[in-house]
Amino acid sequence: MVSDFFHMGGYAFYVWTSYALATVFMLFSWIQPRLRERRLLRDIARRLKRGER
């Protein structure tokens, strides 16, 4: 049942930590280039506006 599911046959700590790590790592890696691209586009636009290059 539901509590059995979270209990994972006594291996809850190991199983859920593994899945939590995977989630955190993959979310972080997903969001990082999106923020970087937004920052890059903004910086380039600002520099263009100032008439550099």
Shortest Cβ distance from residue 3 to another protein (Å)?
13
By CB under 8 A, tell whether 26 contacts another protein: yes
Triad 50, 31, 43: Cα angle to 5°: 5
By CB under 8 A, tell whether 9 contacts another protein: yes
Residues 6+ apart with CB under 8 A from 8: 15, 16
Residue 1 amino acid letter: M
Residues that bind another protein (CB under 8 A): 5, 8-11, 14-15, 17-19, 21-22, 25-26, 29-30, 32-34, 36-37, 40-41, 44-45, 47-48, 53
